[in-house]
Amino acid sequence: MALFSKSKNDKAWQAGNSLPKHVAIIMDGNGRWAKKRGLPRTAGHSAGAETFRKIATYCKDLGMDYLTVYAFSTENWKRPQEEVDAIMQLLEKYLLESIEKMERDGIRLKILGDTEPLSDKLKALIERTDKISSEINGFQANICLNYGGRDEIIKAARKYAQQVAEGRANDIDEKEFSSYMYSDGIPDPDLIIRPSGEIRTSNFLLWQSAYSEYYFTDVLWPDFDEAELDKALDAYSKRSRRYGGV
């Protein structure tokens, strides 16, 4: 039985912090999952997309406010063209399905990243999901697409530089600088999860993760289910978040 499925008053909640409002996940291990099964890497991405769907629904049902996932990085363009094309087709399929279900399920969807290199079809779908999301209150799923933490900071710094040119250098603080990020208006993630056994951040939410808790697991993303998320939430609930204090 899922550890957190009953209520927020289970023992795990009493042992530490409450449910995180914002969880972020580096969806890693799709290719290795497929290789272990003698399948093409594209099959792993399809399985990973279905896992995202299940985990997003579970996060909403638990009462979280935000889920952010790393779907395609600025570095992923280096992958074989066939794989890149398959990922983009999956995203188109997911967005088309989401447009039909967002209002019914009360889920907002936002794409974070540089959308300029994307196809016109994907851009149009993103625009439609943005419009629908603006009319929905509640849980929000963020998909980082053509996203890189350093790239995001550089773009924010360029906007910041425009303000400096206007003589406002000393007036800009962290809060205002954050408003130049793709994640403007979204609270920083409380917990960042990385499946697949890799222990690195891979250029994900570098600015936003200053005080995030991290959780690493060897489970490959397509095998990451509700029970695995429960384990991460259980570990998070036992940590003391002091933000530099005592």
Active site residue 76: yes
DSSP reduced 3-state for 215: strand
- The span from the CA of 187 to the CA of 189, in Å, is 6
Side-chain half-sphere CA neighbours of 76 within 13 A: 24
133: Cβ contacts below 8 Å, ≥ 6 apart: 102, 108, 109, 110, 140
- The span from the CA of 74 to the CA of 65, in Å, is 26
Q: Crossing angle, helix 226-237 and helix 41-62, to 10 degrees?
A: 50
- The span from the CA of 89 to the CA of 174, in Å, is 37
- Other residues' Cβ atoms within 10 Å of the Cβ of residue 129: 20
Helices (H) and strands (E) in the chain, counts: 8, 6
- The span from the CA of 22 to the CA of 65, in Å, is 6
| Tokens encoding 71 | 């779907």
Looking at the DSSP bridge assignments, the partners of residue 143 are 69, 111
- The span from the CA of 244 to the CA of 246, in Å, is 7
- The span from the CA of 93 to the CA of 122, in Å, is 10
Of 76, 114, 203, 223, the catalytic one is 76
Active site residue 28: yes
The residues carrying an active-site annotation are 28, 76
